[in-house]
């Protein structure tokens, strides 16, 4: 298709955009000359303007991204075979981006333009990707619903009156709505996997420390990790190669449906105690279908106090490290503000939360002794129990519903209803916090819709460092359920 006319290229771009290409397929189409990066990017820009009401992006520099797309087309003509050549990416606005504003979700940094890229942004650019724009997020990544006082609520592409999840809210919504094929996000206790579940996309949280995270606004140096949203596990496999330089595990040629030899664990006493009926019914149907596809599914019990243990330890570490982590980040990267100034400018609910748990002397802040106990006693105990599932039971992954409910209504996001109970919105991370507590890799896959037409996610957590094995297995499981429709 190298001799396409301008009109036919525009038509092809629109068709490919409507078909919602993923990263791998978009890169292949550009590499093979089926479409230009400029035409593809133009189509995505048109779509982003048409769906601006989602509030998925804070900043898009259209001239800059189109110039980068034209440069990619020139590089392709000159023989470049970079793996992400010409593919536009969204990036959560907690990542530093050279020449493009990085707000961290704050009004006071709306016009701050960094002099450098975060390491992960540098990695995708080296691989040929384009920075399409900066995705909306919860202020300082401190929240799970997608509300931002300055830049607006990110809306769920499946239902505009529902939350997108957070804190990587705009990243998930942008991929779900077909505005970009992938976006970089961040995850501390569930900020990738929760919105991936609510928006019906794939969300990948690598083993903590596996992907570069320098240049990304932190919450907790113990728990933070960078990661990605994409349309397929195949796209996450490619991104993992770009970020780490490791080659992916060999893929089978059976279409991904045969799970013979896979051993999957689930812990109903820990992860089905407080879930909506629709979510539990779908999860149990997923378990049956995986068994029908050849997997061996085993039930495990992580202990009566497991949930209390992970909640206390993980949230304690999360809050105790916030002030120091943010202060150090601001200093190292010459960001023109202070922790105190950020605190003073937060929306009232978030300022109250920081004052309660993140500031020294706050009524809910944990002591240094309790923090050390969480790190040196609770985390090893959590790891020991999870290892029992991975080692003693021989499980490749532990399965659970990613979130205990589907996306709540925007008007009910402070307290949410799960299984007939009114609970704090923090309960949205009840399942994702398990992997975060000890840094396990996790993937959320879309596995169907509720009776109300809202996405339901399945989380797969694997042992430390087994990211490539996790992704290979997730790709097979994805083959059983498919990628699902793109929300519009």
| Residue 125 is a catalytic residue | no
Q: CA 27, CA 81: separation in Å to the nearest integer?
A: 10
Q: Are 440 and 464 in contact (CB under 8 A)?
A: yes
Q: Are 258 and 293 in contact (CB under 8 A)?
A: yes
| Residue 25 is a catalytic residue | no
Q: CA 143, CA 140: separation in Å to the nearest integer?
A: 8
The single residue of 94, 141, 167, 378 carrying the catalytic annotation is 167
Q: CA 374, CA 383: separation in Å to the nearest integer?
A: 12
The single residue of 94, 191, 232, 434 carrying the catalytic annotation is 191
The single residue of 20, 92, 103, 141 carrying the catalytic annotation is 92
Dihedral angle of Cα 15, 237, 299, 422, to the nearest 10 degrees: -60
| Residue 424 is a catalytic residue | no
Residues marked active site are found at 92, 167, 191
């Amino acid at each position: 298709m190298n001799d396409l006319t301008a009109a036919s290229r525009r038509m092809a771009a629109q068709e490919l955009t409507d078909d919602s290409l993923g990263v791998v397929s978009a890169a292949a189409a550009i590499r093979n000359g089926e479409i230009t990066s400029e035409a593809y990017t133009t189509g995505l820009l048109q779509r982003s303007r048409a769906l601006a009401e989602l509030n998925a992006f804070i900043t898009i520099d259209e001239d800059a991204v189109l110039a980068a797309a034209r440069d990619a087309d020139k590089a392709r003509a000159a023989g470049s075979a970079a793996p992400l050549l010409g593919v536009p990416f969204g990036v959560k606005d907690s990542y530093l981006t050279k020449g493009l504003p990085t707000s961290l979700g704050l009004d006071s940094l709306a016009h701050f333009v960094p002099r450098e890229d975060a390491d992960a942004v540098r990695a995708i650019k080296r691989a040929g990707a384009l920075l399409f724009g900066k995705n909306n997020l919860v202020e300082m990544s401190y929240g799970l619903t997608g509300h931002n006082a300055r830049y607006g609520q990110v809306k769920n592409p499946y239902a505009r009156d529902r939350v997108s999840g957070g804190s990587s809210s705009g990243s998930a919504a942008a991929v779900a709505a077909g505005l970009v094929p992938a976006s970089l996000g961040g995850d501390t206790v569930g900020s990738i996997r929760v919105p991936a579940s609510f928006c019906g996309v794939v969300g990948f949280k690598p083993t903590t420390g596996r992907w570069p995270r320098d240049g990304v606004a932190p919450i907790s140096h113990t728990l933070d990790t960078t990661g990605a949203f994409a349309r397929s596990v195949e796209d996450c496999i490619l991104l993992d190669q770009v970020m780490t330089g490791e080659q992916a595990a060999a893929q089978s040629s059976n279409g991904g449906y045969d799970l013979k030899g896979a051993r999957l664990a689930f812990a109903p006493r820990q992860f089905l105690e407080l879930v909506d009926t629709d979510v539990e019914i779908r999860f149990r149907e997923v378990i049956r279908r995986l068994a029908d596809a050849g997997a061996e599914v085993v039930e495990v019990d992580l202990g009566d106090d497991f949930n209390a243990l992970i909640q206390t330890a993980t949230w304690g570490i999360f809050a105790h490290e916030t002030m120091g982590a943010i202060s150090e980040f601001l200093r190292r990267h010459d960001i023109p503000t202070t922790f105190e100034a950020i605190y003073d400018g937060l929306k009232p609910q978030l300022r109250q939360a920081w004052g309660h748990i993140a500031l020294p002397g706050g009524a809910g802040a944990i002591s240094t002794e309790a923090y050390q106990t969480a790190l040196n006693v609770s985390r090893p105990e959590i790891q020991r129990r999870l290892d029992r599932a991975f080692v003693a039971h021989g499980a490749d992954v532990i399965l659970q519903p990613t979130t205990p409910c589907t996306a709540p209504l925007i008007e009910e996001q402070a307290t949410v209803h799960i299984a007939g109970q009114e609970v704090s919105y923090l309960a949205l991370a009840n399942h994702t916090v398990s992997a975060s507590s000890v840094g396990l890799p996790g993937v959320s896959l879309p596995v169907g819709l509720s009776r109300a037409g809202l996405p339901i996610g399945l989380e797969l957590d694997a042992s430390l460092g087994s990211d490539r094995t996790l992704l290979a297995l997730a790709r097979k499981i994805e083959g059983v359920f498919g990628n699902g429709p793109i929300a519009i």
